[in-house]
Each structure stands twice: as C-alpha cells, then as structure tokens.
C-alpha cells in the first residue's frame, strides 16, 4: 500500500531526484537517502532542534517537514554549510570555547546560530542569543559555553576581524 512520490530538489547546491513515501520526513530523507547524517534526529516532534536545516533560506525543523514538501526547494544542511565555509568562524569558536560536549545538538545549534547572526545587524545580547536558541536543546546543558562562542563570533564579525 506504500505509494511513493517523485521529488526533485537541491541539496547543498546539488540537484537531487528521488522517490519518497509521503510519510518520510525531511531529516530522515537526508540521512537515509542521501547519507547526510550530520542532520540529527532527536525527539521527532519539533522540540529538540537537532534536525534543524535550511529550506529556501529559512531554518526549519527537518522532522516537521515532509520530504515531499521539499519538492522544488533548496535545502542546506550542516554538511553544505561546513563545506562552503559560511559558518567556519562559528565552528572555530565552538571548538575554541568548548561549546560542545557529546556533539549531538551541535549541527542544529550551528544552523540556528547562522540564522541568528544573519538576521541581526548588531551584537546580540546574551539574552537574545538564549531566546533565539530556545528551540535547540543541549542535553549536556552546555549552554553557557555555546552562548560565549556565539557572542564571540558576533563581536568578531562586527569588528571585521576574522578570528
């Protein structure tokens, strides 16, 4: 009874076409069809934020978006953002500040951070960072270091220096 539907989309700049079951969510599609396992699957009901990816430029929950809904869309995952170098400074700051422990939440944290820093034209306050990241859980509870790293990048980007 499992019908499949054809989809065509761009993932990290590459054209992809596939047959998917309607019930398959985007995060599973990325992981299982494309082996892009940097997108993590945590709670699968929109709470934890580990599956965060960009869809047509906006961050979305990979678990609350169906793969069929991504037909025609441009998807960017942590792999794409890493390879392009777009978030290299954020990654370096996370590393330097020890802003990851087990690392499970890190891809989602990085994708969300990239949007936060793109949509604010000044250095966000720590409260603003926490508010923006409120939809991303770190169950190691390493939030302090994550906020440290993000503020550090924001300051560096404003001052134009490339840390």
Partner 1 sequence: MKPGAFGYRRAESAEDAVRLFLEVGEGAQYLAGGQSLMATLNFRVSEAGTLIDLTRIESLKGIEQRGNAIHIGALTTHASVARSSLVRKRLPLIAEAYVHVAHPAIRNRGTIGGSIALGDPASEMPACMLALDAVIHANGPAGKRSIPIDDFYLGLYETALEEGELLTGIEIPLPAEGARHGFEEIARRHGDYAMAGLAVMTTGRRARMAYFAISDRALRSTAAEDAFVSGASPAECAEVATREMYVFGDLNASENMKRHLAGVLMRRVLLSLDGGASA
Q: Which residues bind partner 1 (CB under 8 A)?
A: 1-3, 5, 21-23, 25, 28, 44-46, 49, 52, 55, 58-61, 63-66, 68-69, 112, 115-116, 130-132, 134-136
Smallest distance from partner 1 to CB 159, Å: 25
Token pair 């990241």 is found at 133
Beta bridge partners of 59: 54
Handedness of CA 45, 51, 52, 56 (dihedral sign): negative
CB nearer partner 1, residue 23 or residue 139:
23
Smallest distance from partner 1 to CB 160, Å: 26
Smallest distance from partner 1 to CB 7, Å: 11
C-beta of residue 91 within 8 angstroms of C-beta of residue 61: no
CB nearer partner 1, residue 63 or residue 93:
63
Smallest distance from partner 1 to CB 24, Å: 8
Token pair 């939809």 is found at 135
CB nearer partner 1, residue 69 or residue 82:
69
């Amino acid at each position: 009874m499992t019908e499949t539907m054809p989809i065509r989309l761009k993932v990290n700049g590459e054209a992809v076409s596939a047959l998917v079951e309607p019930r398959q969510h985007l995060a599973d599609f990325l992981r299982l069809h494309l082996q892009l396992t940097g997108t993590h699957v945590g709670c699968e009901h929109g709470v934890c934020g580990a599956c965060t990816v960009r869809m047509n430029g906006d961050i979305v929950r990979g678990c609350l978006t169906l793969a069929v809904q991504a037909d025609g869309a441009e998807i960017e995952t942590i792999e794409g953002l890493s390879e392009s170098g777009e978030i290299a400074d954020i990654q370096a700051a996370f590393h330097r500040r020890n802003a990851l422990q087990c690392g499970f939440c890190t891809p989602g944290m990085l994708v969300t951070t990239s949007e936060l820093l793109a949509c604010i034209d000044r250095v966000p306050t720590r409260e603003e960072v926490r508010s923006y990241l409120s939809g991303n859980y770190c169950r190691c509870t390493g939030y302090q270091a994550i906020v440290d790293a993000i503020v550090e990048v924001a300051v560096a980007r404003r001052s134009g220096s490339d840390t």
